[in-house]
Structure 1
């Protein structure tokens, strides 16, 4: 079985990536493991100002440290009326990295006086596959919807409870199979699947 390292310690992202890879026939026999499985790999500081820069920083650092192909993503929420913010700062919008509810509260406060029909937003994901020799492949995915001030759903993470899809449900109201079929991360990874199959299975 070929292994690829996912450059994140986020259990939600790891589970989502494992489920997506398992659903792609070309990737049968490929195992996704977390960088947390490697004791001597330090966390990579995200100093980039674009999704691609941050994803590439993480993927190349982990590929070099582990000697294995590595996948890293950087993703975030872009709100039209905020000029694309929070963007690359989505995970630390309130100041503390990964403080999901604080990030949601701040974003809703910042858009509190905006009419509901003007709250168009989209998730963006950039996925980078890096090899130990420095080779890389880059793919993107987007998911469009709008903000809702009514937090709904117990699934997902991050801004999922306030991101409403065209069918009226939030991302947090979808089960994992439904989310993985349409998410920005799934779209980016599916766009990468031919690259993964070529690099990891030789097909």
Structure 2
């Protein structure tokens, strides 16, 4: 019986930080893959935020993936549509946040959507984003939807979610995750 108690304490002490609750560091880069033909989807709905609170200016952070975004913009293969970083509170259940990029017109943004983050053995992410073409009156003329979910995201690692002509680079870092040392540029070129 004593061995079971000791084993339980050891397991609790070495539990992965992915189970941590608190402020997660989130950074995402939404890109258009120019070599993949674009396709339109139904218009972004009026309730595109799905009831999620909008990302506040106080939660926004300076993006850390500037080098990755610059490399993507330097090629003709990708167009960076949105690059944002923020802190998001994650607790017992999934946490959803609404994002909007550009000038809001009658409740719609040129880029809008929501991102949900949950915790477990791995981090669960669900992204639902629209890239809208708006007319001068703010009406949606055309939308492209990116919708992907991944329940195997590892904390602190860059994850690529492929949605066809739209893709998302995402890095979610739970509280207490040790910082990764910078990669040697010579290793990246091999």
Normalized against structure 1, the TM-score is what? 0.28
Q: Give the number of the structure whose residues are more often helix, by fraction.
A: 1
Q: Give the number of the structure whose residues are more often strand, by fraction.
A: 2
Question: Bigger relative contact order, structure 1 or 2, given CA contacts below 8 A and separation 6+?
Answer: 2
> Which has the higher Rg, Structure 1 or Structure 2?
2
Normalized against structure 2, the TM-score is what? 0.30
